Amino acid sequence: MALLFNEEQQYLKDTAKDFVQKNAPINHFRELRDSENEIGYSEDLWKQMAELGWAGILISEEYGGSDFGMLGLGAILEETGRCLVPSPLFSTALLGASLIEIGGSRDQKKDLLTKIAQGSLTTAFALEEGSRHAPNIISTKSEKKGGGYILNGEKTFVLDGHSADLLIVTARTSGKKEDNSGISLFLTDPDSKGLTRNRTLMVDSRNACEINLKDVQVPESNLLGELDGGLPIIEEVLERGQIGISAEMLGNALEAFDKTLEYLKERKQFGAPIGSFQALQHRAAIMFAEIELTKSSVIAALNAVDENSNDRARFASLAKFKAGETLQLVSSEAVQMHGGVGVTDEFDIGFFLKRSRVAEQIFGSSDYHIDKYATLSGY
């Protein structure tokens, strides 16, 4: 398994880096936060991303995408992570496109994937119901009624859920709350009667929402995948999501580290740059080593998806664990090495600390994934 990007993937990464730095530097994130933007991201920027083909990078050419694979999307997510760019790239181009690509019927794919690739449709995955990641614990219920289904329940921590054009909702159609079988997926109109969305502003100023479903009617044609057979689809998409957010977290860590190195070279104390102090050099060396290990873990996981490896789940947990641990370390050390100014709003470095605390919880914390990795490895 090659742990380097090939020429095409590296070109895509370089193009993404150039685009992001010119069009969405960290000041772009700051402006969105300070303006209290209603949807939390720039629609114009998202249209530009779609024009570059980013929205359809996992979608087959048949439906207007490029089918460039997870390595391609991972390269882009790393660069958007460097500049903390808010966009539907993760919730739509990765999660939504994957759910429909894997579980959708031909008609659903033709309709929805084409719109996603064009950038005219955004999605959100309504999965979580508690304070901890538990994909099989679903209490939201769906009952067959007439020519459709009735949904009742609550969802939490739905990324970009308050602004999405389409919700993909998990609901229990049979069995008990913790059963692995009996879970189904439903394409749900967010404007449906009985559905309410409450935006939740996270500490990192990113988007999430809580969704309440009360007697929400969904037509039978909106069932995604087989009835009661949603969990295998969910697990495969979660693996992609865990790897994708790991790539973004790698970008966060790289940028926080680079900014810290610059500060160590510029800040002087006792007549010398603080970067000349051996204790700080040792701490920087540890961060560098952990980032390099994270790079290898993330690229190996991205490769595992594209190669349809049997070890995909194990690689996903390894990448998510390592990226979470590394970003926690680097963001904390970065703030400490900046001193008191590191926690002021005047400096950008504090944004990476806040982002690390939220991103680490998306689709399973580091503790969750080290336990899962151990289980999958036979320990």
Q: What is the pLDDT of residues 36-65, one digit of tens each?
A: 899 999 999 999 999 999 999 999 999 999
What does the pLDDT read at residue 268? 86
pLDDT in tens, 185-217: 999 999 999 999 999 989 999 989 999 999 999
pLDDT in tens, 112-121: 999 999 999 9
What does the pLDDT read at residue 275? 87
pLDDT in tens, 316-358: 999 999 999 999 999 999 999 998 888 888 889 999 999 999 9
Predicted confidence (pLDDT) at residue 1 exceeds the cutoff of 70: no
Predicted confidence (pLDDT) at residue 4 exceeds the cutoff of 80: no
CATH of 125-229, one of 3.40.50.300, 3.30.1490.190, 1.10.150.530, 2.40.110.10: 2.40.110.10
CATH of 232-376, one of 2.40.50.100, 3.40.50.10480, 1.20.140.10, 3.20.20.70: 1.20.140.10
pLDDT in tens, 86-103: 999 999 999 999 999 999
Reported confidence tier of residue 178, pLDDT bands at 50, 70, 90: confident
Q: Which residue intervals of the chain bear CATH 1.20.140.10?
A: 232-376
Reported confidence tier of residue 3, pLDDT bands at 50, 70, 90: low
Q: What is the pTM of this model?
A: 0.96
CATH number of 7-121: 1.10.540.10
Beta strands, E only, the chain? 123-126, 141-145, 148-159, 166-172, 183-188, 195-201, 207-219, 223-224, 268-269, 272-273
Q: Which residue intervals of the chain bear CATH 2.40.110.10?
A: 125-229
Query: What are the Cα distances from residue 216, in Å, to 150, 188, 192, 193?
Result: 5, 9, 7, 6
